Amino acid sequence: MAENVRIVTEHFEHEDLHMLEGYRRLGGYEALKKVLSNWEPEAVIEEVKKANLRGRGGAGFSAGLKWSFVPKGLAKPKYLCVNADEGEPGTFKDKLLMERCPHRLMEGIVIASYAVGIKHAYIYIRGEFVTQAITVQKAVDEAYANNLLGENILGSKFSLEVTVHRGAGAYICGEETGLISSLEGCKGQPKLKPPFPAVEGAFGCPTVVNNVETLCFVPWIINRGADEFLKYGSEKNPGTRMFCISGHVNTPGVFELPMGTPVRELIYTYGGGIPGDKKLKAVIPGGASAPWLTPDQIDVGADFDQLRAAGSMGGSGGIIVMDETVCAVKAVTRITKFFAHESCGQCTPCREGTDWAYKIFYRILQGKGTEYDLKLLENVCNGMVGKTICVLADAAAGPILCVIKKFRSDFDRYLSAGFEPEKPSLVDLAQLSHGEGRQVTEPEPSHQQNA
Amino acid sequence: MPKITIDGQEVEAEAGTTVIRAARDAGIHIPHYCWHPRLSVAGNCRMCLVEVEGVPKLLTSCTTEIRDGMVVNTKNDTVKQAQRGVLEFLLLNHPLDCPICDKAGECKLQDQYFKYSAEDSRLETRKVHKPKNLDIGKHIVLDQERCVLCTRCVRFMDEVAHEPVLGIIERGDTSKLTVFPEKGLNNRYSLNTTDICPVGALTSKEFRFKKRVWFLNHEQSVCPNCSTGCPVILDHEDRKLYRMMPGQKDGEQAWLCDPGRLGFGFVHENDRPRAPLMRNSDGKLEPRTWEAAIKDVTRQMSDFVSKFGKNAVAGIYSNWSSNEEIFAFTHLITQTLGANLITSHNPRIGLVNSGPADELQIKEDKCPNSRGADVIGKSRPGGLSDFHQIIQDAHAGKIKAMWILDPDFMGRIPDKSGQKRIREALKKVKFLVIQAPLEREANSLANAILPCGTWAESEGTFVNEEGRIQYFKAAFPPVGQGKPSLEIIRLAATATGKPLPYATPYDTFRTLAGVVPEFKGLDYSDLMPEGALLGSGQTVAVPVTESAEDAVASPA
């Protein structure tokens, strides 16, 4: 296997890669030319299918397969939604791809749209990504100005409109149907599936939702061929992916590495090891939703299938490293708070369960918890897992169940008789905006006498 | 049709049916909050989770379509545990102010918690509080704490009322139902949201704190306030009507318009006549016993017929009379008293104005039985006398005695000049009998006032605009000494020595059905639960061998 092949970060050392001129000079838009001049759309789908390009947003579903689910010969328009709502805690790769090489994304968008027969693509970009949205918009403008978007792209019969749409700051809009709801102008809430977006998505029309990173792989696969792509990565997980290494490591950052790179290497080789040579306590291998790995598990290869087998998930590639000083209870409390804040509130178990779990953790951290609270937390989590429209509830419950199981002893301190809560604690500070003492709308005086 | 097994019971349903609907049709109840048979599917409450064999996760039965051979469990331990879990979540931040909640007693959260969980709360921290007692519309109060965020009301306003003014704002457990800024929930169908609200989040201002619902008695009835004739339930206690609730239409709970369902205030007007009144020699109305009043009225009417002839005495019923009353009254006037003139007063004005007609339910004709009055009138050989001719004749002094069955004979005349003309005509009538439940202008001209029941105090049938004959029951007896109209008519006939050959509304309807072709073959049992269309009782065309006139004269 070749060392450190770079696909989506290819030429990142070039300062002008984000400009059309730079990208073109370094071979950009060649794949698009090739496709538009002599590839049938089906051939593009077949090639991407053959490359087994798996979605880098989190689910790891085959992109080519997703494209092939879109019904053919319908009178309705079809849409591509580019999921640039990168919000998974510990993940910051799409941000980089959009900053450094927006034209690679653009090229991927045009090729994917050509393959599926899409005439309008939306880039749904996270609200907080202001500069990235500007960069992407500039790239879109450049592409329009140079016949890479718009009518009859590169003189072909294919035309495509691209719209950059900024989100308003909701994690749940990174869920594909939540994204579609938001794009449609509705409240960002996931929709019931079926119908799946490929059949009935944005504005009731067949829709493909692809992650930024996923689409950035497409030009390379076209240029070099699926067989070349298959040479990298691990079994059934070909190619590379962007690993975002953060937390207690010496050299945090984004690394494009072959799929299946062992977690140990991610921490100690690419992450540069743990500062002060402290011991590893836990690592989250796929963003905050992923259950944690313990030090004995880190020889697992970081790909979708191996991490799943290890009881976690590949997710969005966010590797969060925690050293021995970390209190698992506090850490998972912070994660739980995040999910309670981001629950869209649609499904009962998630709406009520995420915040309840946070309140229980808060009580524990206050030294008011009991042994029974752990049982209760498990109950609450089991009441959420698999019982909601989208998987946010599962994402919230996974880390909690994992911590109770794997870091049970971290609770002891808080449950012991003489425990005095530290002040001000992380959690106390957090109270200012959310949770137990969170802002509640008190009834106005006139409302108090009646029910 | 696909066959599936639910809890061991084989169930067959159309392809595309959801599990919850198929189960319901088979009599298996799957608990739910957000699902409503007449609204789109939201799938958010997660209460209707069931186990489908071969599927690892529980599925919401409201979103899962049946597949042939599917095996569904709605009662096993996994499902029960999930149900308990969802109920615990729903109750977690619920204020539990049931003692002062109008919904208590008919609240799905209460009922289903009791049935499917009944466990103690395990929440040991403060609940999330939200605003209560919010005035969001003409008739609606919102309590955001009680709301389970099922979005039934939101979908109702979008999909049925077509005035989307409700929505859920914020997220997580601070999500709240609200009305859009600058808007109010003032649609004419707004109170339906209180019916479909599974909890006490949306309640009616009119019913607010009026009654604990478990004290209410329920009577099947028909809304009298337009010719749609929506099925309603009269909720009453101790001779007081508290509210009109939707009955069943096409097998589901009906929608009602607000003005219709709230339009029962006339039943409890303070000045309703409470005893028969007769004008004394000084021209003042004086109370009489029923016996005396009926005797006097029938004697005088008979005298006018014999003195001035059949065409000097007229009977007028209205589109507020029941079919039974119309039929018996016609008999009384034409057969028993022997008068010639019988007609119907059918303006489109009712006792309550629900406003312009719309495409949903509200009709232009605000009267409950225009169709019945019309059909029964037309079935008479030679039809009815002309209403305007009678008024003209009265004006000319040709009508000496008149008996009117109408709750507001003059108030329902559309224009002032028409009212004036009628007033003058009635003044010329020597002996005017007003049989009415309410104190209205026409009463002041009467020589006799016979206080009868409103529709809520009477039993009978109305025919709505689509031709559906619908049964309504008396919720309680008429106020004071008042009697149901049919009873008064019966007493009058008896007083002449020629009693009617039928006594109860049931008998009257059967006799009517033997005479009026559109009603043929029907009795009250055919009208349950949702009425029967005119003509639907005729399985074979029965040749009419005797004239309807004869039949009325000698009913079987």
Q: How many CB pairs under 8 A join A and B?
A: 122
Q: Do both A147 and A199 map to the same domain?
A: yes
pLDDT tens for residues A391-401?
Answer: 999 999 999 99
From the candidates A352, A374, A431, which should be mutated to test the interface with B, based on the most B CB atoms within 10 A? A352
Do B90 and A352 count as a contact with CB atoms less than 8 A apart?
yes
What's the rounded Cα separation, in Å, for the pair B82 and B86?
6
Round to whole Å and give the CA distance between A240 and A263.
14
Same domain for A215 and A155, yes or no, is: yes
Q: Alpha-carbon distance A378 to B172, whole Å?
A: 20
Query: Which pLDDT value is given to residue B549?
Result: 44
Which residues, in sequence order, are CB contacts of A190 under 8 Å at separation 6+? A172, A175, A177, A178, A181, A344, A346, A389, A390, A392
What pLDDT sits at residue B556? 34
Within-domain flag for A5: no
Whether residue B133 and residue A387 make contact (CB cut-off 8 A), yes or no, is no
Query: How far away is chain B from the Cα of A133, in angstroms, using its nearest Cα?
Result: 25
B348: number of Cβ within 10 Å: 15
pLDDT tens-digit series, residues B408-440: 999 999 899 999 999 999 999 999 999 999 999
Task: Say if residue A439's pLDDT is above 70.
Answer: no
Instruction: Domain of residue A284: give its range.
Output: 240-323
In terms of DSSP H, where are the helices of A26-169?
30-38, 41-50, 63-68, 93-100, 102-116, 130-145
* Residue A220 shares a structural domain with residue A255: no
Cite the residue boundaries of each domain of chain B with CATH code 3.40.50.740.
277-521
Local confidence band at A423 (pLDDT 50, 70, 90 cut-offs) = low
Contact check, Cβ <8 Å, A340/B172: yes
Residues of chain A neighbouring B41 (CB-CB closer than 8 A): 192
Helix axes A102-116, A93-100, angle to 10 degrees: 100
* Chain centroid to CA B384: 28
**Across the interface, do B100 and A451 touch by the CB < 8 Å criterion?**
yes
Q: At A310, phi and psi to the nearest 5?
A: -85, 5
Judge whether A178 is closer than 8 Å to chain B, CB to CB.
no
pLDDT band at residue A3 using 50, 70 and 90 as cut-offs: low
pLDDT at B124: 82
Q: For strand B59-60 and strand B166-169, is the pairing parallel, antiparallel, or unpaired? A: unpaired
Which runs of consecutive H residues, i.e. helices, occur in B77-158? 77-92, 108-116, 152-155
How close A193 gets to chain B, by Cα (Å)?
Answer: 9
Domain total in chain A: 3
Write down the residue that tokens 């509130």 correspond to: A345
Q: Quick one: pLDDT at residue A440? A: 39
CA distance A57 to A84: 9
Do B252 and B192 form a contact (C-beta atoms < 8 A)? no
Q: Determine whether B349 is exposed, middle or buried from the number of CB atoms within 10 Å of its CB (0-12, 13-18, 19+).
A: middle
Nearest to B85 among A340, A363, A383 (CB): A383
- Answer whether A349 sits within 8 Å of B148, measured CB to CB: no
Reported as half-sphere exposure (CB side, CA atoms, 13 A), residue B28 has a value of: 23
CATH number, residue A414: 1.20.1440.230
Whether pLDDT at A434 is above 60: no
Nearest CA in chain A to B91: A352
Query: CATH no. for residue A177?
Result: 3.40.50.11540
Angle at B337 between CA B272 and CA B459, to 5 degrees: 45
How is residue B65 annotated by DSSP? Answer: B
Looking at chain B, which residue has its C-alpha nearest residue A338? Answer: B172
Chain A residue closest in CA terms to B86:
A349
Query: Are A340 and B173 within 8 A, CB to CB?
Result: yes
| Residue A432: pLDDT over 90 | no
A159 and A215 share one domain: yes
Residues A341, A412, single domain; the answer is yes
pLDDT at A248: 97
Mean pLDDT value across chain A: 92
pLDDT digits over A192-231, tens only? Answer: 999 999 999 999 999 999 999 999 999 999 999 999 999 9
Question: What is the helix (H) or strand (E) element at residue B551, kind and residue range?
Answer: helix B548-553
- Residue ending a domain, choose from A257, A288, A323: A323
Q: Is A388 on the interface with B (CB under 8 A)?
A: yes
Cβ contact, residue pair A443, B134, below 8 Å: no
Which residue in A340, A341, A447 is closest to B132 by CB distance? A447
Beta-strand pair B401-405/B313-318: parallel
Average pLDDT over residues A89-93: 97
Q: Is residue A61 part of a domain?
A: yes
A-chain residues near B47 (CB < 8 A) = 348
- Listed in sequence order, the residues at least 6 apart from B416 whose beta carbon sits closer than 8 Å to its beta carbon are none
Residues of chain B with pLDDT under 70: 538-556
Query: d(Cα A322, Cα A335) in Å, to the nearest integer?
Result: 13
Q: Give, for B242, the enclosing helix (H) or strand (E).
A: strand B240-246
For residue A341, list chain B residues with Cβ-Cβ distance below 8 A. Answer: 172
Mind listing the pLDDT tens digit for each residue in A70-80? 998 889 999 99
The pLDDT, as a whole number, for residue A424 is 57
| Domain B277-521, CATH | 3.40.50.740
What is the C-alpha separation between B184 and A25, in angstroms, rounded?
A: 60
Interface with chain A: mutation pick from B18, B41, B46, B92, highest number of A CBs within 10 Å: B46
CA distance B155 to B41: 9
Instruction: Specify the domain boundaries for CATH 3.10.20.740 within chain B.
Output: 3-89
- Name chain B contacts of A389, Cβ cutoff 8 Å: 43-44
CB contact under 8 A, B85 and A349: yes
Residue B170: list chain A partners with CB under 8 A. 345
Q: Does A354 touch chain B (CB under 8 A)?
A: yes
The Cα–Cα gap between B234 and B245 comes to 7
CB B269 within 8 A of CB B275: no
Asked if A383 and B89 come within 8 Å (Cβ–Cβ), the reply is yes
Chain A residues closer than 8 Å to B58 by CB: 386-387
Could you tell me if A150 and A92 lie in one domain?
Answer: yes
Biggest CA pair distance of chain A: 77
- Are A300 and A226 in the same domain? no
The DSSP string of A234-274 is: ETTEESEEEEEEEES-SS-EEEEEETT-BHHHIIIIIS---
Q: Whole-angstrom Cα distance, residue A284 to residue B83?
A: 32
Residues 6+ apart with CB under 8 A from B251: B530
Contact across the interface for B49 and A353, Cβ inside 8 Å: no
Give helix A102-116 / helix A30-38 axis angle, nearest 10°.
10
Which of A355, A387, A444 is facing B173, going by the closest CB pair? Answer: A355
State residue B539's pLDDT score: 59
* CB atoms A451 and B45 under 8 Å: no
Taking the CA of residue B35 and the nearest CA in chain A, the distance in Å comes to 13
Residues from chain A that touch B172, judged by Cβ atoms under 8 A, are 340-345, 351, 354-355
Specify if A417 maps to a domain. yes
| Record: fold of B3-89 | Ubiquitin-like (UB roll) (3.10.20)
Q: Which residues pair with B177 in a beta bridge?
A: B168
Please list every residue in chain B whose beta carbon sits closer than 8 Å to the beta carbon of residue A191. Answer: none
Nearest to A143 by CA among A171, A123, A173, A117: A123
A302 min Cα distance to partner chain B (Å): 26
Which of A323, A343, A359 delimits the end of a domain?
A323
* Radius of gyration of chain B from its Cα atoms, rounded to whole angstroms: 28
Judged by CB atoms closer than 8 Å, whether chains meet at B173 and A387 is answered as no
Strand boundaries in B385-459, DSSP class E: 401-405, 431-436, 448-451
Asked if the model's pLDDT at residue A258 lies above 70, the reply is: yes
Which pLDDT value is given to residue A425? 57
Separation CA B392–CA B395 (nearest Å): 5
Residues A199 and A73 in one domain: yes
Which residues of A, range 315-344, sit inside 8 Å of B by Cβ? Answer: 340-344
Q: Which of B336, B276, B304, B520 is nearest to B431 (CA)?
A: B304
Which domain-ending residue is among A230, A264, A297?
Answer: A230
* Token output for B158: 């979008």
Q: Which residues contact A228 (CB under 8 A, 6 or more apart)?
A: none
Angle between helices A212-224 and A30-38 (to 10 degrees): 70
Chain B contact for A185, CB < 8 A? no
Nearest chain B residue to A373 by CA distance is: B122
- The amino acid at B291: E
Does residue A276 sit in the same domain as residue A206? no
Distances in Å between the Cα of A145 and the Cα atoms of A112, A141, A149, B412, B447 are 20, 6, 8, 73, 93
Q: Do B46 and A386 touch (CB under 8 A)?
A: no
- Return the structure tokens found at B296: 């006097």
Contact A85, A174 (CB under 8 A): yes
A219 and A264 fall within a common domain: no
Residues A295/A280, Cβ–Cβ less than 8 Å: yes
The answer, yes or no, to whether residue A447 has pLDDT greater than 70, is: no
Q: What is the pLDDT of residue A446?
A: 39
Enumerate the residues of chain B whose CB falls inside 8 A of the CB of residue A344. 171-172
Instruction: For residues A183 and A72, state if they share a domain.
Output: yes
% pLDDT > 90, chain A: 90
| DSSP codes of every residue in A279-348 | PEEEEESSSTTSPPBPGGGTTSB-SHHHHHHTTS--TT-EEEEEETT--HHHHHHHHHHHHHHH--S-SH
Residue A447 lies in a domain: no
Paired tokens of B372 = 């019945």
- Taking an 8 Å cut-off on Cβ atoms, the answer to whether A383 and B82 are in contact is yes
pTM over 0.80? The answer is yes
- Structure-token pair, residue A254: 């984004």
Helix (H) or strand (E) holding B390: helix B387-395
A444 contacts B148? CB cut-off 8 A: no
Is A285 inside any structural domain? yes
Residue A81's closest CA among A222, A201, A216? A201
The alpha helices in B119-197, defined as continuous H runs, are 152-155, 192-196
Q: What CATH number should be reported for the domain holding residue A262? A: 3.10.20.600
Q: Are the C-beta atoms of B28 and B9 separated by less than 8 Å?
A: yes
**Looking at the structure, do residues A63 and A38 belong to the same domain, yes or no?**
yes
CA angle B321, B324, B326 (to 5 degrees): 50
pLDDT for res A259:
96
Please give the torsion angle defined by the CA atoms of residues B454, B456, B458 and B463, in that order, rounded to the nearest 10 degrees: 90
Residues on chain B touching A383 (C-beta within 8 angstroms): 82, 85-86, 88-89
ipTM of the complex: 0.90
Please say whether the beta carbons of A72 and A146 come within 8 A.
Answer: no
